[in-house]
Structure 1
Amino acid sequence: MAAKPVCHNTQEAVPTLRGQLGARVAAYGGLPLPADLNWLWTVGAILCAILALMLLSGLTLTLAYTPDAGLAFGSVEGIERRLPAGWLLRAMHMTGASFFMLALYVHLLRGLYYRSCQPPRRAVWMSGCTLLVMVMVTAFAGYVLPWGQMSYWGADVAGKAVGALPLVGGWLEGLFLGGDAPGTPTLHRMFALHFGLAFLIVGMVVGHIACVHARGSSSPSASAVPERGMLPFHPYFTVRDMLAIVLVALAFVAVMCLWPELITEPANYRPANPLHTPADIEPEWYFLPFYGMMQAVPFKLGGLLLSGGAVAVLFAVPWLDPAHGAGRSTPALLRLGAMAVLIGSAMATACAGLHHMQGGWLLVARLGMVGYYAYFLVFLPLSGRFGREARV
């Protein structure tokens, strides 16, 4: 039996590959999207741009960083003072972390408000929530790496909180810290976690975008076919995405150069001192709501479960919210009021997390925690009763 001839001419294969790539790009640009999408739908593009910046700056910073308890703080100082443009790279990475978390929270709140989690987009919501957890773990690991005062004591608080879990708490604390107290093993673990999760996040983002393309984008009108029809992704939405990225870039540069104190903690510019506990141990601003919840409960396990549950409850939103699944939509004014309560509750617990949990601040934290959980466990399940038939 004669063998099939094999083509060894690579020049014939190149146009074929180029044609396939061009077809995929054209299909991506021609993706139909609802014409009524507002500016909140540009946050996804903003997140992708900031993620690219974080990866490039982070990879460069790793070339001069030393994950050792005796050398980490000095290596960070060396990056800022001796590495060419090192101060700029670190400032971009630090500012990028805050902007990324802010954009991620806005993206999440947009999905909650417009009910973007209902079928057929549950996979989009679940992959987004998984991304949120991965980013939060990565951000915490990155916060420990400079090995300043807040970095050290933040790792100490996190280790003790994990140790409060029954049965496996002691083992998890030892795995996290690598010993009885934060030290070089902790830095090695946090460095590996921070570096490895960054690439996993990129893969998860690709999967999240693939889910959006497979299931279709949601729309403010919450209807399968909006009244204003559909438009291709390019050029109608790419131009707006690029404009949004430019505007965020201007705000990024302004904060980085003019108001760096908004995103930095002065105590973290002092080397870690295990013998001196800061008067107020506080995490980065984007962890403050969960930190406030953890402090609002008098015993560690309850605080840990409630603060972790504040993130875990997001995974249950598609099943807690029956309004869209039943073909009903909640009035916009009611949704807006509930969203205001949710945001206000999160801000209240965040403000309480900045202070000692006693007196008035303890009451504020507990009220904020009640308001936060009430949105998910009371408002969402009951919202269908106040709804009306949705247009399809």
Structure 2
Amino acid sequence: MSSHSTTYVPKNAAAKWLESRLPIIGLVHSSFVAFPVPRNLTYFWTFGAILMVMLVIQLVTGIVLAMHYTPHADHAFTSVEHIMRNVEYGWLLRYMHANGASFFFIAVYIHIFRGLFYGSYKAPREVLWILGVIILLLMMATAFMGYVLPWGQMSFWGATVITNLFSVIPLVGDTIVSFLWGGYSVGNPTLNRFFSLHYLLPFMILGVAMLHVWALHVPGNNNPTGVPIKSGKDAVPFHPYMTVKDTFSIVCFLAVYAWFVFYLPNYLGHADNYVPANPSATPAHIVPEWYFLPFYAILRAVPDALLGVILMFASIAVLAFLPWLDTSRVRSGSYRPVFKVLFWGFVVTCLMLGWLGSRPAEGIYVILSQIFTFLYFAYFLIAMPLLGLLEKPLPLPNSITEAVLGKKAASGSGMPVGAAAEPQSKG
């Protein structure tokens, strides 16, 4: 997994025997114990570990729930009620799984915004970034299909609305919709397909996440300055420095997660999903889960259905091209004053799109959705390419140690303070 040679030394004959045949302990040691990380990493760099913990929680609770769930249109809703009322600790498993999806997205959105601000997508981390975008797409597909499984009113009508979107695709749209439905409307075959895919996709996420970690260990971690590691004093071993920090962040994150599970279990859900699916009664306002709302607002921002679908998928796909859209040689947003202002404007744009996605598609809400959709794409397609040509960045530190301790302290420790910093787009 790591491109760094291991310093692991087996302590006994059994360990030596295993290491000579399957050096898995040495691999773990080089990747998660002795692996050098920048000494200035903040708590924003702990969300990768948080996401791995949340993925394990989702896998374990999902597998157990699948043992009691019935993927049939006539029995799905009652099987969920059975889990809640009759299965021992079934209520806990379901609330952990349902709220776990929301907290998974909270962590991944913070992880993405951190990467956007500190330029973690720049060379040589392009593949790492693209794998992250793939994970996001798999997460969204998994969450959507999971939301359909309770077979409540919002589940049924959400599936109907979203799957119908594919019908606007020229030539193959109707074929895709028929495949997803398994017939001529959303029904039992649809539920079976979604259950199968919802069970499969998390294991695909796990596989891509392992590739993501592997891709991280080749160039190493980015850091708040964007300056690459230049000596041993710029780095510390992953254990105990990052393991302690990761553990503290995981405990704090899980404490908030547990608060929602035990005290606000339905706060992030929708009340209509506690009503059995009824194809004859359309809910007054069909909305997806909160983590889809920005993309839902983009979908509804234009009157043309095909253009709306294209913009919705483009809003995610554009992230994969960010390593080439950003033309600045400076990696970290901390040293880019104009970029910093535009970045926080982009954060506000995403929050506004999320709010607009929860509003009815009428009147001023449509106009605002169009404005913020334009701002969303303008950030990537106009601002990012032009900023690299027009912006004057602040002076960069010569090393991570200088950024942490100051120039005098770094000079006193024997660091080559006068050395020119390596171009950040290459480190």
TM-score, structure 2 as length reference: 0.86
Structure 2 unaligned segments of length 5 or more: list them. Answer: 1-11, 397-420, 423-427
The residue number in structure 1 matching 2:212 is 208
Separation in structure 2 between the aligned mates of residue 89 and residue 273 of structure 1, nearest angstrom:
26
Q: In structure 2, how many angstroms separate the alpha carbons of the residues matched to 1:165 and 1:142?
A: 24
Does the 8 Å contact 1:35/1:226 carry over to 2?
no
In the TM superposition, what are the counterparts of 1:101-180 in structure 2 within 5 Å?
101-180=105-184
Find the residue that maps to 2:218 and give its secondary structure. helix
Q: One-letter code of the match for 2:344?
A: A
- Helix, strand or coil for the counterpart of 2:359? coil
4+ residue segments displaced more than 6 Å = 11-14, 326-330
Counterparts of residues 277-316 of structure 1 (less than 5 Å):
277-316=282-321
Q: Is the 8 A contact 2:226 2:331 kept in 1?
A: no
Question: What does the per-residue CA deviation read over 1:198-240, in whole Å, with 9 as the maximum and x for residues that have no partner?
Answer: 1111111111001101121111111112796111100001000
1:17 aligns with 18
Is the alpha carbon distance of 1:383 and 1:328 closer, same or farther for their aligned partners in structure 2, counting shifts above 3 Å?
Answer: farther
Contact 1:341 1:371 in 2 (8 A): no
- The structural deviation recorded for 1:321 is 0.6
* Native 8 Å contact 2:146 2:198 kept in 1: yes
Q: Secondary structure at the match of 1:218?
A: coil
1:26, CA displacement in angstroms? 2.4
Instruction: Give me the whole-angstrom Cα distance separating, in 2, the residues matched to 1:245 and 1:369.
Output: 34
Distance change in 2, residues 1:207/1:224 (3 Å): same
Compared CA separation, residues 327 and 76, structure 1 to 2 (3 A) = closer
**8 A contact 1:330–1:387 mirrored in 2:** no
Deviations 1:258-298 (A, max 9, x none): 22343111111111000000010000000001111111111
**Contact 1:328–1:387, Cα closer than 8 Å, also in 2:** no
Shift in Å at residue 13 of structure 1? 6.6
Gaps of 5+ in 1: 1-10
2:92 to 71, 88, 94: 88
Structure 1's 116 and 14: CA in aligned 2 closer, same or farther, altered over 3 A? closer
Measure the CA separation in 2 of the matches of 1:336 and 1:16.
Answer: 53
With normalisation by structure 1, the TM-score equals: 0.93
Query: Which stretch of the first structure deviates more once superposed, 332-341 or 195-204?
Result: 332-341
Counterpart CA distance in 2 for 1:328 and 1:192 is 42
Separation of aligned partners in 2, 1:85 and 1:255: 16
Separation (CA, whole Å) in 1 of partners of 2:331 and 2:347:
27
CA distance in 2, matches of 1:276, 1:86: 29
Q: Deviations over 1:337-383 (max 9, x none)?
A: 22222121122222122122111111111111111111101111012
Decide whether the 8 Å contact of 2:118 with 2:333 is kept in 1.
no
Distance 2:114 2:332 in 1: 19
Range 80-89 or range 223-232, more displaced: 223-232
* Conserved? CA contact 1:310–1:373, under 8 Å: yes
Q: Give the aligned residue type for 2:30.
A: A
2:249 aligned with 1:238 = no
* Number of aligned positions between the proteins: 381
Displacement of 1:12? 7.1
Question: Any conservation in 1 of the 2:46–2:249 contact (CA below 8 Å)?
Answer: yes
The amino acid of 1:229's aligned partner reads: D
Q: What does the per-residue CA deviation read over 1:304-362, in whole Å, with 9 as the maximum and x for residues that have no partner?
A: 111111001011101101113x8897844323322222121122222122122111111
- 1:88-143 Cα distance to aligned partner (Å, 9 max, x none): 00000011000001111111111111111111111110111111111111111101
- SS of equivalent residue, structure 2 residue 281: coil
Cα distance in 2 between the residues matched to 1:254 and 1:288: 24
CA contact (8 A) 1:152 1:272 kept: yes
Q: How far did 1:153 drift?
A: 0.5
CA 1:291–1:329: 2 relative to 1, 3 Å? closer
1:346 aligns with 2:350: yes
Q: CA deviation at 1:15?
A: 4.3
Which range moved further: 379-388 or 33-42?
379-388
Contact 1:345 1:367 in 2 (8 A): no
Structure 2 residue matching 1:231: 3-state secondary structure:
strand
In structure 1, the partner of 2:263 is 258
Find the residue that maps to 1:262 and give its secondary structure. Answer: coil
How far apart in 2 are the matches of 1:247 and 1:18?
Answer: 36
Provide the rounded CA distance (Å) in 2 between the counterparts of 1:89 and 1:60. Answer: 8
- Alignment identity in percent? 38
